[in-house]
Amino acid sequence: MNIAINNLKKTFGKGENLKVAVDIEQYTINSGELLGLVGNNGAGKSTLFRLILDLIKADTGTVHMDDVDVSKTEAWKDWTGAFIDDSFLIDYLTPDEYFQFIGRITGLTNEQLQEDLKKFEHFMAGEVAGQKKLIRNLSAGNKQKVGIVAAMLLRPQVLILDEPFNFLDPSSQSIIKHLLTDYNKETGATILVSSHNLTHTVDICPRIALMEDGHIIRDIDNHNGEAQTELENYFNTN
């Protein structure tokens, strides 16, 4: 599933307070790519993801998934999974209730759902599934796990995760890296991941986009892991 961005611009505020959040003339994420999006706070990463998911309206420009303009139809939601923040969760449910809800809207039988959840048992570490706590009462890390698992339960052709390593302990960070790379290889899904953690991003993403002030200023081929030095040099001077 290709993602094509054309003349995409989003600003906030007016006059002297005008802030350009995203300004991308043209950028294409090819079908099956695992792309890392990096940049300092305020670079526009989360805004770009929200534009791709039609959560906010662009001032100008378009985002297409293959031939589908995401702002014109909701068809793309059938093949897209995402977790941006806690607002994606239904926090008055328990994790099990939430997963059952996801299963129902995707047409999974309970047996299929339980089978799919087994793939995430190690990641959830006995602290998510089978617990009686409401999602709102979970730790930040376990909320993060619920959101990531729910997004992947959709078996999406496009998966978008904003800062998936946040709030996770080192073991869980390692596990999610393997889950994402394995899912990408097994399904050919297009995966977009933003992160402040350069090491994790370089580890799993063969292509990395560096954002600054709403622009993608570098498109880095990381197939041989050579992006680490280039990114460190950039962040050490910015």
- Domains in the chain, please, with CATH? 3-85+149-236 (3.40.50.300)
The pair of structure tokens assigned to 102 is: 């996801």
Please tell me the total number of residues recorded for the chain in this structure. Answer: 238
Question: Which pLDDT value is given to residue 71?
Answer: 94
Q: What angle do CA 27, 33, 36 make, to 5 degrees?
A: 70
* Residues 65, 47: Cα–Cα separation, whole Å: 17
Per-residue pLDDT, 171:
94
DSSP-assigned letter for residue 94: -
Q: Hunting for tokens 């793939």 — which residue is that?
A: 119
State pTM to two decimals. 0.94
CB atoms within 10 A of CB 13: 10
pLDDT of residue 107: 87
Q: pLDDT 10s per residue in the chain (238 long)?
A: 999 999 999 999 988 889 999 999 999 999 999 999 999 998 999 999 999 999 999 999 999 999 999 999 999 999 999 999 999 999 999 999 999 999 998 888 999 999 999 999 999 988 898 888 999 999 999 999 999 999 999 899 999 999 999 999 999 999 999 999 999 999 999 999 999 888 999 999 999 999 999 999 999 999 887 888 889 889 888 7
What is the Cα–Cα distance from 192 to 96, expressed in whole angstroms?
26
Can you give the pLDDT at residue 226? 80
In this prediction, residue 221 carries a pLDDT of: 93
Pair 36, 198: CB distance under 8 Å = no
**pLDDT at residue 197 in the model:** 87
Dmax (CA) for the chain in angstroms is 57
pLDDT value of residue 49: 97
- Confidence at residue 177, expressed as pLDDT on a 0 to 100 scale: 96
Strand (E) positions, the chain?
3-12, 19-29, 34-38, 60-65, 68-69, 80-83, 158-162, 190-194, 207-212, 215-221
Predicted confidence at residue 229, as pLDDT, reads 87
